[in-house]
Structure 1
């Protein structure tokens, strides 16, 4: 026990020393929003009830359980399909401004086609939205967070262009059903990860778990961009005048570090810029087009593996945004591949991804803590895309489920300090910050081996009870004060007492 408290005290001293925030105004700007997020497959459970069809993740976790760290799946997970009201109570008690959740495509259209619309699925999301609005919480709806119907995947999924119009059909149903109460939409979440790890990379696959070489990855991205753009224009034409909502796509943007600034830009363009450049500037980044063409030729292909957009498509995709949404978790250190001096091309980027020994690791594989890379990314987005209104739609820290989650508090403090610096000192136009996630959930390939929630879920208990963590109390006080606050003590009981004395006793964890 003595050793445990020594570790806790050391962690606290390190926290205070690192996060003093000297020179930074730690007050959130007026109108700045703080919310939280989840996704359908990760929290809902109820995988085969009320007319829901099989999703690509249902199929993947059951046929390839070896791809999941603990062999688990999302059949029950956090059970939010039945416990959404309890989750909303936590969101309200924390004082959060909004809740970003996603729709299960297969819960609405079991086969992906409109000839079979599941009214029970639509009603579930109506109930959730009504519960949020009744509690003063804005619903932000993501149409697609990695879980399309398995029926569509058997026809090629995102590598078959037929999915473009099927996605638009699905989106239209959701706009009709929910759009009168939803003002902010996300079309597709993290498209680069879907394509890279769903159809290409064999070492860390996500559903559908296909290795289509270095051709399928770009075909996937091409179709996703078309689906997003067609959905945006459809909303413009059919719904914007009456619903007046805003739409965007949520990109995954790493924080790149390198000795050479040109290498940072190349890595950025192949990651965040892959989808952002066609939407915000027009067509794929030049470095992508030239590099993929070069490497494709060296590999013996008759044409570039990166598909070309016609001038009509370039114009059609450009400008299909109302705000810039992105998710961020980790830095990456890039170096040039020395094999290229010998004429050997191992990758389209010509770069090798790695880490620096000085970086602090978190519980999740591939997750590292480097707040300065987050600040640099915000400044890069400002300069690259003419300082658009930015919504950070996911940011968070994995651990092993500790209730006294000091590292999570420390992570959010450090990253939000960088955010405030970028906003107040550098003029970055950041409008909102989204905590990933409100509750513990099924974390894709990691299963239940790591946790992201600021509220704990006991997955060993069939009733999946929720309970607060230390970060629950910290976040409540931060949101109430509208200012970043360090940990005042290393005693969790004292911390809870001090925090609870700062607000009226209401909600599930007071």
Structure 2
């Protein structure tokens, strides 16, 4: 029986100050805690041991206006993976989420040419994790498409479905006996925005390629899920999900126009990917289909710029996930757009402006403010819309500048985990929580200027030395105690390997 939402809980959501209820809530014993990273952001060794070129390698090496490619060395996890695992042991985590570089295992993008040194690197990392009772969670695709495939159109090419499925089979064949948690694609709603560098598309394709990409990544995910379900699941018993960016959006003020803007934003940004998998009917959201069709007609298109999903597509995609990987960082306030977007474009189709509250605490990233109640509301929205999907929080994090004293990150973790406990109390089915990120890394176009790590990385040192921040000890204590003690902070920053993990 589902837990019915108490209106009293909502009264506890006191804007950015978090929750005023002093009751002690505890994460159950089976709840999994972890941290995360992504291949391009931490591995480095961009051209070592046979690795091919990704779109990000190409981008930073081909644009003379950019600084030297930050991902060439990054945090140098390719050579320091044992230290990374030691850090995980110090924290006492249950799970480590990392991504596999497509071009490290398949340098040319296609499964016809496998790179054994690259495959062995991930064997070594996975074995080191399992040796210390830390479960690997593998993300197959985290933004780093092989440049060879981008030259062929990338995710806008329908053959990308087969390219990804072939790549996934290589990973399943190699690692399925060791890996129980899989994520096919990270944030397709970021992958498919033409504004995102990865697509390398001309402006004239805005509002067309975005939607082609959306269809193809969903089908690539679904075909990979069905492959695992048919050929690997019975033997290995693992789980396959997909990670979607779900930053909460709500009306700037309670007017009809702003309420409608919030719904439009939600449906276009994450409903596009949630609805086909988790809704009872499947398919893209009706609001999205109707809005794009109407605008396309007004713009002189013969048919909608949003490609249709066939009955077979809908059947294939529907239910194609064992869990929803929820990437959540912040909250936005919505109102109708004042215009100025290219026509046609995804942004024009949405036509929603985003703001935040001035009193929300600001991180070191311009887009990221702390509003912990948004995680609670996002979870309840998903429960209502998609009938209580099984959720794994696969990203949640906070950026600061350099420095080991990071009280704002400690506070962010405490408040967001407290919000998650309220969501669990009100019926949300959550398998675990993964903080982004284990260590400082390359934050894409921001380089190393924004620090999300529990561990600081000295990017000026050849060894890329890692040092625990205050927040690492705060997170370690939450994992050990399985409760959130708001305001708790360590007396010093000394951190040692968890005795629990070493005894297992």
Alignment partners' CA distance in 2, 1:134 and 1:121: 20
Is the Cα contact below 8 Å between 1:141 and 1:182 reproduced in 2? yes
Alignment partners' CA distance in 2, 1:287 and 1:436: 32
Alignment partners' CA distance in 1, 2:122 and 2:429: 31
Which residue is equivalent to 2:334? Answer: 334
Matches within 5 A, 1:101-140: 101-140=98-137
Alignment partners' CA distance in 1, 2:500 and 2:388: 41
What SS does the corresponding residue of 2:190 show, helix, strand or coil?
A: helix
**Number of equivalent positions:** 475
Is the Cα contact below 8 Å between 1:195 and 1:220 reproduced in 2? yes
Alignment partners' CA distance in 2, 1:122 and 1:176: 11
Offset at residue 344 of structure 1 (A): 12
Find out whether 1:393 has 2:394 as its counterpart: yes
Which residue is equivalent to 1:51? Answer: 50
Is the Cα contact below 8 Å between 1:24 and 1:420 reproduced in 2? no
Alignment partners' CA distance in 2, 1:280 and 1:19: 30
Alignment partners' CA distance in 1, 2:477 and 2:243: 28
What SS does the corresponding residue of 2:349 show, helix, strand or coil?
A: coil
Is the Cα contact below 8 Å between 1:361 and 1:367 reproduced in 2? yes
Is the Cα contact below 8 Å between 2:362 and 2:369 reproduced in 1? yes
- Aligned CA RMSD, in angstroms, stands at 2.3
Which residue is equivalent to 1:237? Answer: 230
Is the Cα contact below 8 Å between 2:327 and 2:395 reproduced in 1? yes
Cα deviation 1:19-53 (Å, max 9, x = unaligned): 67534434212311111110001000111111110
Find out whether 1:36 has 2:29 as its counterpart: no
Cα deviation 1:341-385 (Å, max 9, x = unaligned): xx9997212422233333332111211111111111011111111
Which residue is equivalent to 2:461? Answer: 461
Cα deviation 1:143-199 (Å, max 9, x = unaligned): 100112110000011111111101101100100000001111000000010111xxx
> Are the structure 2 counterparts of residues 24 and 190 from structure 1 closer, same or farther at C-alpha, using a change threshold of 3 Å?
farther
Alignment partners' CA distance in 2, 1:286 and 1:505: 50
Alignment partners' CA distance in 2, 1:495 and 1:261: 47
When structure 1 is superposed on structure 2, of 264-273 and 453-462 the one drifting more is: 264-273
- TM-score, length of structure 1 as denominator length: 0.88
Which residue is equivalent to 1:172? Answer: 169
Offset at residue 291 of structure 1 (A): 0.5
User: Which of 205, 208, 212 is the aligned partner of 1:215?
Assistant: 208
Is the Cα contact below 8 Å between 1:24 and 1:421 reproduced in 2? no
> Are the structure 2 counterparts of residues 101 and 344 from structure 1 closer, same or farther at C-alpha, using a change threshold of 3 Å?
closer
Is the Cα contact below 8 Å between 2:181 and 2:240 reproduced in 1? yes
Alignment partners' CA distance in 1, 2:250 and 2:361: 15
Alignment partners' CA distance in 1, 2:249 and 2:433: 20
4+ aligned runs moved over 4 Å, structure 1: 17-21, 343-346, 502-507
- TM-score, length of structure 2 as denominator length: 0.90
Is the Cα contact below 8 Å between 1:72 and 1:448 reproduced in 2? no
Alignment partners' CA distance in 1, 2:337 and 2:107: 45
Matches within 5 A, 1:289-308: 289-308=289-308
Offset at residue 505 of structure 1 (A): 11
Cα deviation 1:445-500 (Å, max 9, x = unaligned): 110111100011100111101111111111112211111123346xx6x2447x88
Offset at residue 506 of structure 1 (A): 9.8
User: Which of 58, 75, 82 is the aligned partner of 1:85?
Assistant: 82
Which residue is equivalent to 2:242? Answer: 249
Query: Runs of 5+ in structure 2 lacking a partner?
Result: 1-15
Offset at residue 72 of structure 1 (A): 4.0
Is the Cα contact below 8 Å between 1:95 and 1:480 reproduced in 2? yes
Alignment partners' CA distance in 2, 1:444 and 1:215: 25
Matches within 5 A, 1:368-407: 368-407=369-408
Alignment partners' CA distance in 1, 2:362 and 2:201: 29
Which residue is equivalent to 2:59? Answer: 60
Offset at residue 104 of structure 1 (A): 0.3
Offset at residue 393 of structure 1 (A): 0.3
Matches within 5 A, 1:293-442: 293-337=293-337, 347-424=348-425, 426-442=426-442
> Are the structure 2 counterparts of residues 71 and 334 from structure 1 closer, same or farther at C-alpha, using a change threshold of 3 Å?
farther
User: Which of 136, 139, 142 is the aligned partner of 1:142?
Assistant: 139
> Are the structure 2 counterparts of residues 23 and 174 from structure 1 closer, same or farther at C-alpha, using a change threshold of 3 Å?
same
Which residue is equivalent to 1:159? Answer: 156
> Are the structure 2 counterparts of residues 98 and 337 from structure 1 closer, same or farther at C-alpha, using a change threshold of 3 Å?
same
Find out whether 1:264 has 2:262 as its counterpart: yes
Query: Runs of 5+ in structure 1 lacking a partner?
Result: 1-16
What SS does the corresponding residue of 1:207 show, helix, strand or coil?
A: helix
Offset at residue 226 of structure 1 (A): 0.9
Is the Cα contact below 8 Å between 1:71 and 1:447 reproduced in 2? no
